[in-house]
Structure 1
Amino acid sequence: MTTLALPDVNQQFAAERIAQINRAADKQAGIDAQIADGKLRSLGNGRYLVTDPDSWDNGEVLTMNQGELLPEHGLDETTGQVALYTTTPAWHALGNVVPGGTTDIDKVLTLGGINFPVSRRPVLYQANPTDQPRIVPDQFVNIREDTNAALGVVGARYEVLQNRQGFEFLQDLVDDYDVTWESAGALRDGRKVFITMRLPQTVSVDVEGINDTIVPFIVALNSHDGSSLFQVVATPWRVECGNTERFSVRDALTRWGVRHTRNARDRIEEARRTLRLSVDYFDQFAAEEESLARTDLAIDEFHKVIGDLWATPDEDAPVRTRNKHAKRVEILTDLYDTNAARLGRTAYAAERAITEFADWKTAIRPTGSLRGNNLAARATAVMEGSADELKSKAHRRLLTLTHR
């Protein structure tokens, strides 16, 4: 299972963004105070890393821009226009807003700045500057045809999934060819494209004042650089920038992905089963979460759950192994205390703590095109469900405590 978002996450996120932009106090003094409090770390050249767990921007890099310390929206601007269509004005006040939305795919493709085809072309090289170019066997570069930009190098089996096909996949997925599109756009110069639709079902966890209401969106995430699968997630987030794209993956209720191969578009039924897009599923999910929220969990019991998920090393185990386990327990305990402050000391708070640890606190080693970009690598790992088995095991283990 995955982390549940707070109520009205889109509204809360937009409010924080607007507050950041409109803040009129002494900016540098405020920055210095945040650095002193350990909430910011200067990276030089007007760039700062957010180190505040209570901020939406925790882990993000902010940049000083005309006296304002602002996040980057990450949207594609290579054509001179911001690549975003949305039904709701975003915090950055960019893109094309269509109140109430539209069902017209062609209109969304145009307004979202993603009406460009992508084609594969052979990779060429020159052994020497004066030599004739040679073709690299089984290697291709994906080209964005409207700008001729190279988006990424892929292998021979890679099949381009065009942006329009992402819309059609979502239509087929929910059997609705008159769906209103919530948002669509491009990130990283068009290397990644997102499409969002809203589902009619909601998930509510309302136990003793918790009042977590989750409005699920279905988001398709398509990459053209070979870095990730074609993904579909059920999430409480409407994607409208780089951050919300990351949050949509982090807080996904369910997810499904497929490699860019010839039969990707034919796997609708598999996607339906994996995403569990049914009223019965959402009702069952809500019931389980409410059961966890009603189950008190003392810290000793939480540590027993940790021990079931990560075996405690023997006394004669290497010092490094024992220290690593002790550090893991310390981090998980802090996360549990943080979640319990709002949710109570319950199995529900424990599940959120374990999920947050699995997604964002474990070590990761970026490779390939993501080498050196820890945040992107971690977001990709979450998107591809690297910790899904652990989170499902934790959910099942915590459910056993509800039957005491």
Structure 2
Amino acid sequence: MSKETLEHLNTNTLIGFTDKRGHAWHYREEHQGGESNHYPGAVPVADILRRLFHWEAEPWLVQFKHPGTGEIIEDPSRQVFIRPDTKSALGVFKDGYKGHQYRPWLVGNVQTMLDDSELGVGSAGLLKGGAVAWVQVEVPDTFVISEAGVEYRPNLLAATSFDGSLATTYKRTVTNIVCDNTMAAGLAETGHQIKVKHSRNSLGRISEARQALDLVIAAASDFEAEVQELIRTDVSPKEWSKFVDAWAPLPEADAHKGTITRAETKREQITQLWKADPRVSPWSGTGWGVVQAVNTWAHHSQGVRGTTRAERNMLRAVNGEVDNLDAGTIKLLTAVLDRPIGQQRLYAIAA
């Protein structure tokens, strides 16, 4: 990892509860020298305000300048949000857009959620130059599914944006400890979230974020029930091969060589995870192993373009792609097996 990327992670990402789950690995390295971005317990709210959210996005007027004559035309129907410390444009919107500042919508609301609860901040950060931000709260202790040997941490992910990519969202997710991956709490489902649009009437809905605590409470039991069902689902070597064929089909022989090479590489990578990688192989031969293989491949093997792996993975968590990934894997596996996964409930959800 380059020095520049390391510096970016230290100044834009704060990681907590390292005494419980270890230092974040593979795509989040601990800062060497200077102020660490790792905390043995919960990330202090004061540090989030000081290190990440020490600025507020400012709405500026939008003007157009003719490249030849230099004539300037102002557009009163639009506004551009500027990050004042870097003078970078985060997003351009119509005048009805209401920006949700990070301090009240993420930190303030999260502090309300933390009142009279055992939750603490497990991570917080900025993405896309500050255009997207998140704060994630977690329970203090790691959960263990003893019969499956799966350790996980249920959490609530609060995120919003100034580039139009994301409504303010409070959603439940799960951190899988063995691979430091984000997974959907309802593996075979999407949803389980509260969204607030960036409109003039949105400020009156801040109190609704308190309801999101119910999502964390339900996350652990839902995740554990689905993992147990997947563990009870046998996947034979023949069925695994059929799944790989459906997940990464080989192109026709006359396809472009690069297309064939990419497909073969994808198949080889996930097969290696299935057979030998400690993040996946302990569960080979089960439906959980299939979900774990695809999720781990997407986090740590899939190619990255135009950003860092750390930022790409976190963006997937906040925009719902992780939910779609896990639900899609279960739906595909159900079709390949042509039988219910675990109990009938999962099959009905995935169908």
Tell me the TM-score normalised to structure 1 length. Answer: 0.57
Q: CA–CA distance in 2 between the matches of 1:183 and 1:390?
A: 22
- Quote how far apart the aligned CAs of 1:130 are: 6.6
Match of 1:290 among 195, 210, 228: 228
Counterpart amino acid of residue 198 in structure 2:
T
Counterpart amino acid of residue 142 in structure 1:
F
Q: Is the 8 A contact 2:142 2:152 kept in 1?
A: yes
- Quote how far apart the aligned CAs of 1:352 are: 0.8
> 1:221-300 to 2 correspondence within 5 Å?
221-235=159-173, 250-251=182-183, 253=185, 256=193, 258=195, 261-262=198-199, 266=205, 276-279=215-218, 281-300=219-238
The alignment covers a number of residue pairs equal to 310
The corresponding residue for 2:347 is: none
Q: CA–CA distance in 2 between the matches of 1:202 and 1:178?
A: 13
Counterpart amino acid of residue 134 in structure 1:
I
Stretches of structure 1 that go unaligned for 5 or more consecutive residues are: 1-60, 65-69, 77-81, 239-246, 367-371
- Quote how far apart the aligned CAs of 1:295 are: 4.1
Q: CA–CA distance in 1 between the matches of 2:43 and 2:274?
A: 42
Tell me the TM-score normalised to structure 2 length. Answer: 0.64
The corresponding residue for 2:149 is: 211
The corresponding residue for 1:124 is: 63
SS in 2 for 1:356: helix
Q: CA–CA distance in 2 between the matches of 1:211 and 1:193?
A: 33
The corresponding residue for 1:153 is: 91
The corresponding residue for 2:327 is: 392
**Residue 336 and residue 180 in structure 1: after superposition, are their counterparts in 2 closer, same or farther (change >3 A)?**
closer
Q: CA–CA distance in 2 between the matches of 1:185 and 1:132?
A: 40
Match of 1:356 among 276, 293, 296: 296
SS in 2 for 1:216: strand
**Residue 330 and residue 187 in structure 1: after superposition, are their counterparts in 2 closer, same or farther (change >3 A)?**
closer
Q: Is the aligned partner of 1:140 residue 2:83?
A: no
SS in 2 for 1:197: strand
Counterpart amino acid of residue 196 in structure 1:
Q
Q: CA–CA distance in 2 between the matches of 1:187 and 1:358?
A: 19
Counterpart amino acid of residue 307 in structure 2:
N
- Quote how far apart the aligned CAs of 1:329 are: 4.2
- Quote how far apart the aligned CAs of 1:345 are: 3.0
- Quote how far apart the aligned CAs of 1:275 are: 8.2
Q: Is the aligned partner of 1:373 residue 2:311?
A: no
**Residue 138 and residue 374 in structure 1: after superposition, are their counterparts in 2 closer, same or farther (change >3 A)?**
farther
Counterpart amino acid of residue 214 in structure 1:
Y
Q: Deviations over 1:234-274 (max 9, x none)?
A: 45569xxxxxxxx67x4453674747521556387699689
Q: Is the aligned partner of 1:94 residue 2:26?
A: no
**Residue 259 and residue 195 in structure 1: after superposition, are their counterparts in 2 closer, same or farther (change >3 A)?**
same
**Residue 100 and residue 310 in structure 1: after superposition, are their counterparts in 2 closer, same or farther (change >3 A)?**
closer
- Quote how far apart the aligned CAs of 1:300 are: 0.8
Counterpart amino acid of residue 135 in structure 2:
I
Q: Is the 8 A contact 2:158 2:170 kept in 1?
A: yes
- Quote how far apart the aligned CAs of 1:380 are: 3.0
- Quote how far apart the aligned CAs of 1:162 are: 0.9
Q: Is the 8 A contact 1:74 1:187 kept in 2?
A: no
Counterpart amino acid of residue 74 in structure 1:
L
RMSD, aligned CA? 4.8
Q: Is the aligned partner of 1:402 residue 2:334?
A: no
Q: CA–CA distance in 2 between the matches of 1:175 and 1:231?
A: 20
Match of 1:194 among 119, 134, 150: 134
The corresponding residue for 1:72 is: 7
Q: Is the 8 A contact 1:359 1:387 kept in 2?
A: no
- Quote how far apart the aligned CAs of 1:292 are: 2.4
**Which segment drifts farther, 270-279 or 334-343?**
270-279
Q: CA–CA distance in 2 between the matches of 1:268 and 1:232?
A: 12
